[in-house]
Amino acid sequence: MSSEPSESLSPFGAARATVNDNPLSKDELRKYTAYFKASMYLCLGMIYLKENPLLREPLKLEHVKARLLGHWGSDSGQSFTYIHFNRLIKKYDLDAIFISGPGHGAPAVLSNAYLEGTYSEVYPDKSEDADGLRRFFKQFSFPGGIGSHATPETPGSIHEGGELGYSISHAFGAVYDHPNLIALTMVGDGESETGPLATSWHSNKFLNPITDGAVLPVLHLNGYKINNPTILARISHAELEALFVGYGWEPYFVEGSDLDTMHQAMASTLETCVKKIKEYQAQARDSGKSFRPRWPMIVLRTPKGWTGPRKLGPHFLEGFWRAHQVPVTDVRTNTSSLDVLEKWMRSYKPEELFDESGKIIPELKELAPEGNKRMCANPVANGGLVKHKLHVPDFRDFAYQVKKSGVDEEGSMARFGTFLREVVRANPTNFRVFGPDETESNKLSAIYEAGKKVWMGDYFEEDEDGGNLAFNGRVMEMLSEHTVEGWLEGYILSGRHGLLNSYEPFIHVIDSMVNQHCKWLEKCSEVAWRTPIASLNILLTATVWRQDHNGFTHQDPGFLDVVANKSPEVVRIYLPPDANCLLSVGDHCLRSQNYVNVIVADKQNHLQYLTMDAAIAHCTKGIGIWDWASTDAGREPDLVMACCGDVPTHESLAATALLRTHFPDLAIRFVNVVDLFKIIPSSDHPHGLSDAEFRAIFTDDKPVVFNFHSYPWLIHRLTYARKGQDNLHVVGYREKGNIDTPLELAIRNGTDRFSLAIDAIDRIKGLGNKGAAAREHLLDERIKSKNYAFHNGVDPTELTEWRWEF
Amino acid sequence: MSSEPSESLSPFGAARATVNDNPLSKDELRKYTAYFKASMYLCLGMIYLKENPLLREPLKLEHVKARLLGHWGSDSGQSFTYIHFNRLIKKYDLDAIFISGPGHGAPAVLSNAYLEGTYSEVYPDKSEDADGLRRFFKQFSFPGGIGSHATPETPGSIHEGGELGYSISHAFGAVYDHPNLIALTMVGDGESETGPLATSWHSNKFLNPITDGAVLPVLHLNGYKINNPTILARISHAELEALFVGYGWEPYFVEGSDLDTMHQAMASTLETCVKKIKEYQAQARDSGKSFRPRWPMIVLRTPKGWTGPRKLGPHFLEGFWRAHQVPVTDVRTNTSSLDVLEKWMRSYKPEELFDESGKIIPELKELAPEGNKRMCANPVANGGLVKHKLHVPDFRDFAYQVKKSGVDEEGSMARFGTFLREVVRANPTNFRVFGPDETESNKLSAIYEAGKKVWMGDYFEEDEDGGNLAFNGRVMEMLSEHTVEGWLEGYILSGRHGLLNSYEPFIHVIDSMVNQHCKWLEKCSEVAWRTPIASLNILLTATVWRQDHNGFTHQDPGFLDVVANKSPEVVRIYLPPDANCLLSVGDHCLRSQNYVNVIVADKQNHLQYLTMDAAIAHCTKGIGIWDWASTDAGREPDLVMACCGDVPTHESLAATALLRTHFPDLAIRFVNVVDLFKIIPSSDHPHGLSDAEFRAIFTDDKPVVFNFHSYPWLIHRLTYARKGQDNLHVVGYREKGNIDTPLELAIRNGTDRFSLAIDAIDRIKGLGNKGAAAREHLLDERIKSKNYAFHNGVDPTELTEWRWEF
ipTM of the complex: 0.97
Residue A236 CB partners (closer than 8 Å, separation 6+): A7, A9, B458
CB-based contact B143 A740, cutoff 8 Å = yes
For an interface test with B, give the residue of A74, A193, A517 to mutate (most B CBs within 10 A). A193
Q: What is the pLDDT of residue B350?
A: 98
**Which chain A residues touch B146 with a CB distance below 8 Å?**
739
CB-based contact A455 B790, cutoff 8 Å = no
Residue A350 CB partners (closer than 8 Å, separation 6+): A38, A41, A54, A55
Return phi, psi of residue B227, to 5°. Answer: -135, 10
**Which chain B residues touch A467 with a CB distance below 8 Å?**
229
pLDDT averages per 10-residue partition of chain A, 806 residues: 64 96 97 98 97 98 93 96 98 98 93 98 98 97 91 97 90 98 97 98 98 98 93 96 98 97 98 98 98 98 96 94 93 96 97 97 98 98 97 98 90 97 98 95 96 95 93 97 98 98 96 97 96 98 86 93 96 98 98 98 94 98 96 93 97 95 96 98 94 96 97 96 93 93 93 97 95 96 90 75 52
**Which chain A residues touch B477 with a CB distance below 8 Å?**
227-228
Instruction: Please name the residue ranges forming H helices in B93-192.
Output: 106-115, 118-122, 130-139, 167-175
For an interface test with B, give the residue of A189, A565, A731, A741 to mutate (most B CBs within 10 A). A565
CB neighbour burial string for B254-288, b if at least 16 within 10 angstroms, e if fewer: bbbbebbbbbbbbbbbbbbbbebbeebbeebeeee
Do the Cβ atoms of A267 and A91 come closer than 8 Å?
Answer: no
* Strand spans (E) along B601-638: 605-607, 623-625
CB-based contact A163 B245, cutoff 8 Å = no
Nearest CA in chain B to A310: B462
Nearest C-alpha neighbor of A481 from the set A516, A444, A435:
A435
Instruction: Tell me the C-alpha to C-alpha distance, in Å, between residue A35 and each of A55, A680, A726, B98.
Output: 18, 54, 67, 58
Count CB neighbours of A170 within 10 A: 26
| C-alpha dihedral sign at A167, A168, A169, A175 | positive
Residue B649 Cα, gap to closest chain A Cα (Å):
22
Nearest CA in chain B to A563: B558
Kind and range of the H or E run holding A517: helix A511-524
Do the Cβ atoms of A302 and A11 come closer than 8 Å?
Answer: yes
Nearest C-alpha neighbor of A791 from the set B143, B134, B63:
B143
CB neighbour burial string for A582-618, b if at least 16 within 10 angstroms, e if fewer: bbbbbbbbbeeebbbbbbbbbbbebbbbbbbebbbeb
pLDDT averages per 10-residue partition of chain B, 806 residues: 64 96 97 98 97 98 93 96 98 98 93 98 98 97 91 97 90 98 97 98 98 98 93 96 98 97 98 98 98 98 96 94 93 96 97 97 98 98 97 98 90 97 98 95 96 95 92 97 98 98 96 97 96 98 86 93 96 98 98 98 94 98 96 93 97 95 96 98 94 96 97 96 93 93 93 97 95 97 91 75 52
CB-based contact B230 A716, cutoff 8 Å = no
Can you tell me the distance from the alpha carbon of B128 to that of B390, in angstroms, rounded to the nearest whole number? 39
Sort strands B639-644 and B704-708 into parallel, antiparallel or unpaired. Answer: parallel
CB-based contact B479 A191, cutoff 8 Å = yes
| C-alpha dihedral sign at A393, A394, A395, A400 | negative
Nearest C-alpha neighbor of B402 from the set B121, B636, B185, B618:
B618
Sort strands A296-301 and A214-221 into parallel, antiparallel or unpaired. Answer: parallel
Residue B457 Cα, gap to closest chain A Cα (Å):
5
Single-letter amino acid, residue A73: G
Q: What is the pLDDT of residue A6?
A: 56
Instruction: Tell me the C-alpha to C-alpha distance, in Å, between residue A15 and each of A258, A261, A272.
Output: 6, 5, 16
**Which chain A residues touch B320 with a CB distance below 8 Å?**
462, 465
pLDDT tens for A220-272 read 999 999 999 999 999 999 999 999 999 999 999 999 999 999 999 999 999 99
Between chain A and chain B, the number of residue pairs with CB atoms below 8 A apart is 382
CB-based contact B720 A741, cutoff 8 Å = no
Residue A258 Cα, gap to closest chain B Cα (Å):
19
Can you tell me the distance from the alpha carbon of A577 to that of A651, in angstroms, rounded to the nearest whole number? 11
Q: Crossing angle of helices B75-92/B106-115, nearest 10°? A: 40
Residue A617 Cα, gap to closest chain B Cα (Å):
31
Of A10, A480, A741, the CB nearest to B193: A480
Can you tell me the distance from the alpha carbon of B427 to that of B415, in angstroms, rounded to the nearest whole number? 19
Can you tell me the distance from the alpha carbon of B110 to that of B137, in angstroms, rounded to the nearest whole number? 10
CB-based contact B551 A162, cutoff 8 Å = yes
Q: What is the pTM of this model?
A: 0.97
Question: Burial level of A500, CB count in 10 A (0-12/13-18/19+)?
Answer: buried
Dump the DSSP string for B276-329.
HHHHHHHHHHHHT-------EEEEEE--TTTTS-SEETTEE-TTSGGGSS-SST
**Which chain B residues touch A480 with a CB distance below 8 Å?**
193-195, 198
Number of H helices, E strands in chain B: 24, 23
For an interface test with B, give the residue of A716, A739, A743, A786 to mutate (most B CBs within 10 A). A739
Q: What is the pLDDT of residue A1?
A: 40
CB neighbour burial string for A119-148, b if at least 16 within 10 angstroms, e if fewer: bbbbbeebbbbbebbbbbbbbbbbbbbbbb
Return phi, psi of residue A97, to 5°. Answer: -125, 160
Instruction: Tell me the C-alpha to C-alpha distance, in Å, between residue B297 and each of A495, B173, B183, B201, B220.
Output: 44, 17, 12, 10, 11
Q: Helix (H, G, I), strand (E, B), or coil: what is residue B576?
A: coil
Of A457, A519, A720, the CB nearest to B229: A457
Q: Helix (H, G, I), strand (E, B), or coil: what is residue B180?
A: coil
Instruction: Please name the residue ranges forming H helices in B157-298.
Output: 167-175, 195-200, 237-246, 259-287
CB-based contact B460 A10, cutoff 8 Å = yes
CB-based contact A479 B146, cutoff 8 Å = no
Of B228, B248, B467, the CB nearest to A453: B228
Instruction: Tell me the C-alpha to C-alpha distance, in Å, between residue B216 and each of A351, A764, B274, B276, B554.
Output: 61, 63, 8, 11, 38
Residue B245 Cα, gap to closest chain A Cα (Å):
6
Return phi, psi of residue B184, to 5°. Answer: -80, 115
Residue A207 Cα, gap to closest chain B Cα (Å):
13
CB-based contact A320 B462, cutoff 8 Å = yes
Q: Helix (H, G, I), strand (E, B), or coil: what is residue B227?
A: coil
Can you tell me the distance from the alpha carbon of B324 to that of B317, in angstroms, rounded to the nearest whole number? 9
Can you tell me the distance from the alpha carbon of A425 to that of A118, in angstroms, rounded to the nearest whole number? 38
Q: What is the pLDDT of residue A2?
A: 46
Kind and range of the H or E run holding B415: helix B412-426
